[in-house]
């Protein structure tokens, strides 16, 4: 059974926009890093055991004991819906969307929003139009790590070490503490010893100890997002594996075929999945888009800094918005439909305001290199808040003066496409690191 070490998964690091991987706390303290021991004698799978990890992520509040949840339910006859299954608190704020049980406010809503510099002043917070706190559960649920698996436990959205589901169509993880507290004492060790483990949402039966899968949990997750998310954009209900179809992509002004192929959404030469790439859309009309479609994802971007172009950057934004309207599903069709527009720090302040008004969402900045507007889940939670226009102008100037080539926008936003695995079919493991 594979165990994931979340050395890069602490919640404090989720808002970092530093492109270089952060060092673990063990390294900073001069301690040896987490040791990985591989069992070479396994026949059908590889067992990975983690030794010496000292990093803690989101520990429960003092005095709260998750290991007492079973006692409260079985001995004191307390309804599990009246307990936070993430920490054991009696102060339930809402119901957990995936499993029977509650969630307290600290386990659902936490974290001060941080920018690339490690903090966010009140003035900068007001300029970015972002709250001081963010929804921990909703932000982390669609967060993916570089290995293609979700970054946090699907129950508490934290976790020190994570057990990864080995169903090829599932990317969920569960922490040791949640598994032992809810599925049964010692269950995490039992799972760890298994050569192939299928998680609690993939099992054909809905109950394992106190962990009981909610009926229609995908609908409940959408309802929670629509009710409590800060985003004005609607979340689409997660698509069951057996209903997922290959993604159909319209890529404008920038080709993302390489990135989507490496993530498994497209296959070379197989005709599985499709992508239509256009650079010049001047004469494209609605009839053309409807003929090429339907599409599930529309991507567009401004030119790279320093790239010769006979069109102003704002033209790319307006043309993207025009074709986006053509590609949208007809009213009343609930099919998932996603879009992303990336600005290579080319748009003026007025153009960015127009983009925010037309696309109906605030942008985020990724690695101090590009601005992104998108309705893909968790794009906002992965990256830093928007900085003032003057700082963006300085970033653009610094990039223009840099002699070394900068990564293309598609490469910078590649990991933002991983949440689409919840909606569309993918055909292989990651072929390259993100």
pLDDT in tens, 300-353: 999 887 777 888 989 999 999 999 999 999 877 778 999 999 998 889 999 999
Of the ranges 30-39, 58-67, 229-238, 318-327, the best mean pLDDT one = 318-327
The pair of structure tokens assigned to 5 is 């070490």
pLDDT at 368 over 70: no
Q: Does residue 421 or residue 49 have the better pLDDT?
A: 421
Section 359-374 average pLDDT: 86
Residue 11 has a pLDDT of 36
Name the pLDDT band for 290 (thresholds 50, 70, 90): very high
SS3 116: coil
The string of pLDDT tens digits covering residues 157-215 is 887 789 999 988 888 999 999 999 999 999 999 998 998 899 999 887 778 899 999 99
Are 254 and 299 in contact, with CB atoms under 8 Å apart? yes
Average pLDDT, the chain: 75
pLDDT at 299 over 50: yes
Burial 29-50 (b: 16+ CB within 10 A, else e): eeeeebeeeeeeeeeeeebbeb
The string of pLDDT tens digits covering residues 98-114 is 999 999 988 877 544 44
Residue 232 has a pLDDT of 65
Tell me the C-alpha distance between 65 and 86, whole Å: 10
Total-model pTM: 0.72
Nearest-10 Cα torsion for 58, 59, 62, 67: 130
Residue 203 has a pLDDT of 83
Please tell me the number of Cα atoms within 13 Å of 308 on its side-chain side: 0
Residue 96 has a pLDDT of 94
Residue 272 has a pLDDT of 58
Name the pLDDT band for 276 (thresholds 50, 70, 90): very high
Q: Does residue 271 or residue 57 have the better pLDDT?
A: 271
The pair of structure tokens assigned to 105 is 């406010």
Burial class (CB within 10 angstroms; exposed 0-12, middle 13-18, buried 19+) of 409: buried
Q: How far is CA 176 from CA 188, 306, 406, in A?
A: 5, 50, 40
Residue 114 has a pLDDT of 42
Tell me the C-alpha distance between 50 and 22, whole Å: 19
Tell me the C-alpha distance between 266 and 247, whole Å: 8
The string of pLDDT tens digits covering residues 238-263 is 998 889 999 999 999 988 998 898 88
């Amino acid at each position: 059974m594979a165990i994931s070490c979340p050395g890069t998964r602490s919640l404090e690091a989720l808002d970092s926009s530093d492109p270089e991987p952060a060092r673990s706390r063990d390294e900073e303290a001069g301690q040896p890093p987490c040791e990985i021991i591989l069992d070479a004698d396994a026949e059908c799978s590889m067992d990975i055991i983690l030794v010496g990890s000292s990093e803690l992520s989101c520990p429960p509040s003092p005095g709260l004991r998750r290991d007492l949840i079973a006692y409260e339910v079985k001995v004191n006859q307390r309804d599990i819906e009246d307990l936070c299954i993430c920490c054991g608190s009696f102060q339930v704020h809402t119901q957990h969307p995936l499993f029977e049980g509650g969630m307290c406010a600290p386990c659902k809503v936490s974290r001060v929003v941080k920018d690339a510099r490690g903090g966010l002043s009140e003035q900068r917070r007001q300029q970015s139009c972002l709250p001081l706190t963010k929804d921990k559960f909703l932000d982390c649920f669609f967060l993916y790590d570089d290995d293609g698996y979700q970054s946090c436990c699907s129950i508490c959205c934290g976790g020190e070490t994570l057990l990864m589901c080995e169903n090829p169509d599932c990317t969920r993880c569960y922490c040791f503490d949640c598994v032992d507290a809810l599925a049964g004492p010692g269950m995490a060790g039992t799972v760890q010893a298994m050569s192939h483990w299928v998680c609690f949402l993939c099992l054909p039966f809905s109950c394992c100890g106190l962990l009981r899968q909610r009926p229609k949990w995908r609908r409940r997750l959408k309802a929670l997002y629509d009710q409590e998310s800060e985003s004005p954009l609607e979340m689409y209900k997660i698509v069951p594996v057996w209903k997922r179809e290959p993604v159909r992509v319209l890529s404008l002004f920038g080709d993302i075929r390489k990135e989507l192929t490496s993530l498994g959404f497209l296959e070379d030469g197989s005709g599985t999945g499709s992508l239509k790439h256009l650079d010049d859309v001047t004469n494209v009309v609605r009839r053309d888009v409807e003929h090429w479609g339907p599409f599930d994802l529309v991507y567009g971007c401004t030119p790279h800094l320093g790239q010769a172009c006979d069109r102003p950057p704002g033209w790319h934004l307006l043309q993207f918005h025009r074709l986006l309207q053509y590609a949208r599903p007809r009213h009343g069709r609930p099919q998932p439909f996603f879009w992303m527009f990336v600005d290579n720090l080319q748009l003026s302040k007025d153009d960015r305001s127009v983009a925010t008004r037309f696309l109906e969402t605030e942008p985020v900045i990724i690695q101090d290199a590009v601005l992104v507007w998108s309705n893909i889940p968790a794009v906002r939670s992965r990256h830093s808040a928007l900085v003032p226009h003057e700082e963006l102008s300085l970033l653009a100037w610094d990039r223009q003066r840099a002699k070394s080539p900068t990564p293309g926008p598609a490469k910078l936003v590649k990991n933002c496409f991983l949440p689409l695995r919840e909606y569309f079919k993918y055909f292989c493991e990651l072929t390259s690191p993100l």
